[in-house]
Amino acid sequence: MPSQATEDYLKHIFQLTLENPHQLVSMGDLAESMEVVPGTATSMVKKLHRDKLVHYEAYSGVKLTSKGRKTALRVLRRHRLVETLLVETFGLDWAEVHEDAERLEHAISDKLMERIDSFLGHPLTDPHGDPIPASDGEMPTTKIHRLVDGVAGDKVTITRILDQEQAFLRFIDERGLRPGTTVRIEQTDDVGDAMTVRPSRRQPVTMGRAAARKLLVEPAG
């Protein structure tokens, strides 16, 4: 069994890779995301490499091996099913389930997980719009479009939020950018590193590129 810490590192590497698909994950980003000092990230990544869970080359960065990805997807499956359970069954709020799910994802046996999956009726996505990997570890590979890659005039539907921080989710929520919402990209500002989008019947929202990178979309009518 991988330790909790191992599962967490793999999950974070997986998620960071999603935000920037064609780059290795840097120690700095990983450390920030895990909330540890960079040296800790380096030493943990070396252990993951020793266990063949990641590819790692000093000073260049890290990415998952297929073994590592498989483990990450199992963790993600548990995380997302748990979040769905907490919201749908126990009525917790969209923005506040992350912390509980964060701990519960390491404490649930495969058998229990499958029972929960049946109980929920085999949901395909969690409350944040994230797809729930299947129990064989495979994930529905829908093509991924990032809001940040859109251009002015595009109309897109928000499908997923890649950051589960309460503060970020509240930002999204308050401005009407939940999964399912369709928005028009009003303008993009290379110099200002920002873009402005307008959800229908709502105020336009301007956000930095870093934020826009965390929203996934699909083209809308």
3-state secondary structure of 217: strand
CA distance 85 to 80: 9
107 makes contact with DNA (CB under 7 A): no
In whole angstroms, the minimum distance from the beta carbon of 212 to a copy of itself comes to 32
Tracing tokens 């649930």 back to the chain, one arrives at 108
The Cα 200–Cα 101 span in angstroms is 32
Q: How far is the CB of 134 from a copy of itself (least distance, A)?
A: 19
CB of 202 to a copy of itself, least distance (A): 31
Nearer to a copy of itself, 118 or 203 (CB): 118
Single residue of 10, 31, 75, 86 touching a copy of itself by CB under 8 A: 86
In Å, how far from its chain's centre is CA 116? 21
Radius of gyration of the chain (CA): 18
State yes or no: residue 106 binds DNA (CB under 7 A): no
Least distance in angstroms from the C-beta of 114 to DNA: 26
Residue pair 202/175 in contact by the 8 Å Cβ criterion: yes
Nearer to DNA, 31 or 82 (CB): 31
Distance CA 198, CA 201 (A): 8
Q: Name the site residues for a copy of itself (rule: CB under 8 A).
A: 86, 89-92, 96, 99-100, 103-104, 106-109, 111-112, 115-116, 119
